[in-house]
Amino acid sequence: MKNAVSTGISAASEKLIRILAFTMTLSSMGATLFNIVLPDIKEEFGLSVAQVSWVTTIYGLIYAIGSVIYGKLADAFPLKKLLTFGFILFCLGSLIGLSAQAYWMVLLGRMLQSAGASVVPAAAMIIPVRYFPAERRGYALGITATGLAIGGVLGPVVSALLVSVVDWRWLFCVPMLMLVTLPFYRKYLSDEPLQSVQVDWLGGGLLAGTVTLLLLAVTYGGWELYVGSFIGFLLFVWRIVRARQPFVNPRLFRNVSYSFGLMLSAMVMGIGYALPFLTPQLLAEVNRLPAVWIGFAMVPGAAASAILGRKGGKLADAKGNAFVFYLASSLLISCFLLYSGGSGAPAGWVAAILILGNVGQMFMQLALSNTISRTLPKELTGVGMGMLSMLSFLSGTVAISLYGKAVDFGATSHWNPLNPFEGSAVYSNVALVLALLHIGILLSYRYYARQFGSATKSLLSDRTSLAKPE
């Protein structure tokens, strides 16, 4: 086995990325732990479905905004201090939630948890960029992606086991294990010299308001919210153009490679949310499976992505990001074509298809994150990767809303003549559309590579533009 020195990675960086993977596992669990206890919270406090849904909505809303704010702050403040602040805030929210005797305390606890935990996705984007050479960045991103996937597998399991023996409030305490990692972050994160930056809080507030109104509009509807979000966006653009030190430097979006990568990533993330959102509904409505068996059907895909996460990172380092992108694209296109033809088939068939989709999605995200990071100058790394994290969440939220509307609208016939199963038309049709979208993404990538590849090597070229590790 190669040691840290021979691979171009310091021992501290090696330890740091493993600590980060453990943190990603806990952070991922924290986002999903409460999903199965929403009915219990609803009954205890006498809430409507819309009211109790805020337990998850408010967490995701603040998480999305916080990731880009922490990313921006990471360009001005040491990352170890931001992690310390975030973890303390998270633990404060956990303690409030644990002692909650009213619904407002539950929401306050989740808000503080999310405000603290959103430092984690920012760190997960920044640490591989700052502490790993470009030729080994895929390895680092693969490890963090594995931690994220493991959290997705463990979240529902841990939640179900815990609430079977104790009150649901104890779920607030599980992610507090992140606190044990704080001494290691403070030890292994360097006191990196940072640029002197005056944070444009007005610009950050306009961005937060725009995102908030957009998410509320997508979640609950209402043209007023869409108009408010659009006005907020215009004000945000005006602010970043006029401010001396804008919250988001407009130069970021004039970077053609970065903007193209951001667009691709948003589309990929939006499509990727289809599998975890549509599959439980398909198995419940068409296959008539109980919740426990639906959960089991989802496990193989999540487990496969957790097992193969590091392999994807190593492939990116060894064969290049383009290779991983094309491999992921082939897996995802195959997945959605098979899903379209097999919607309504036995659950084992669907579970096997999900393996292709989950692994392909992880590889695709890894390849895009790795390549996008190479397009950014050092002084814009924090906010640039933070924008990537926020946009990924936003695209997923918008996509879920569209998928929900498609299922509610239904379908009377199959667009895919190879699907013989009754009652599955809408799921088959959506999957077919998503397969075509992925084909479009693949063709766009290839066209961009041919037209602009020579001018944007940082995004579309691989080992040829990198120094080989010693």
Spatial distance between the Cα atoms of 122 and 65, rounded to a whole number of angstroms: 11
Mean local confidence (pLDDT), 159-187: 86
Q: Say what the pLDDT of residue 273 is.
A: 83
Amino acid at 365: Q
Residue 426 predicted with pLDDT over 80: yes
Highest mean predicted confidence (pLDDT) among 8-22, 90-104, 139-153, 357-371: 90-104
Q: Tokens representing 256?
A: 């053609």
Cα–Cα separations (whole angstroms), residue 439 to 310, 336, 398, 424: 26, 11, 21, 23
Q: How confident is the model at residue 197 (pLDDT cuts 50, 70, 90)?
A: low
Q: Say what the pLDDT of residue 424 is.
A: 84
Q: How confident is the model at residue 291 (pLDDT cuts 50, 70, 90)?
A: low
Residue 454 predicted with pLDDT over 60: no
Residue 449 predicted with pLDDT over 70: no
**Secondary structure (DSSP) of 139-197:** HHHHHHHHHHHHHHHHHHHHHHHHHTTS-GGGGGGGGGGGGGGHHHHHHHS--------
Lowest-pLDDT choice from 113-122, 153-162, 280-289, 409-418: 153-162
Give the residue, 226 or 309, on which the prediction is more confident: 226
Q: How confident is the model at residue 331 (pLDDT cuts 50, 70, 90)?
A: very high
Mean local confidence (pLDDT), 239-260: 84
Q: How confident is the model at residue 460 (pLDDT cuts 50, 70, 90)?
A: very low
Q: Is there a shared CATH topology between the 1-177 domain and the 251-470 domain? A: yes
Q: Say what the pLDDT of residue 441 is.
A: 93
CA dihedral 294, 299, 302, 304 (to 10 degrees): -140
Q: pLDDT of 97-142, one tens digit each?
A: 999 999 999 999 999 998 998 898 888 878 888 888 877 777 887 7
Q: How many CB atoms lie within 10 A of CB 350?
A: 26
Domain spans of the chain, in order of start: 1-177, 200-246, 251-470
Q: pLDDT of 388-405, one tens digit each?
A: 878 887 887 788 778 888
Q: How confident is the model at residue 451 (pLDDT cuts 50, 70, 90)?
A: low
Spatial distance between the Cα atoms of 296 and 303, rounded to a whole number of angstroms: 11
Give the residue, 153 or 82, on which the prediction is more confident: 82
Neighbouring residues of 220: CB distance < 8 A, sequence distance ≥ 6: 50
Q: Say what the pLDDT of residue 63 is.
A: 83
**Secondary structure (DSSP) of 220-281:** H--HHHHHHHHHHHHHHHHHHHH-SS-SS-THHHH-HHHHHHHHHHHHHHHHHTHHHHHHHH
Using a pLDDT cut of 70, give the percent of the chain over it: 90
Amino acid at 153: V
Under DSSP, the state recorded for 136 is: G
Q: Say what the pLDDT of residue 390 is.
A: 81
Q: In whole numbers, what is the pLDDT of the chain averaged over residues?
A: 82
Which CATH architecture best describes the domain 1-177?
A: Up-down Bundle (1.20)
Q: Tokens representing 226?
A: 């869409």
Helices 54-73 and 381-409: crossing angle in degrees, nearest 10, is: 160
Fold of 251-470: Growth Hormone; Chain: A; (1.20.1250)
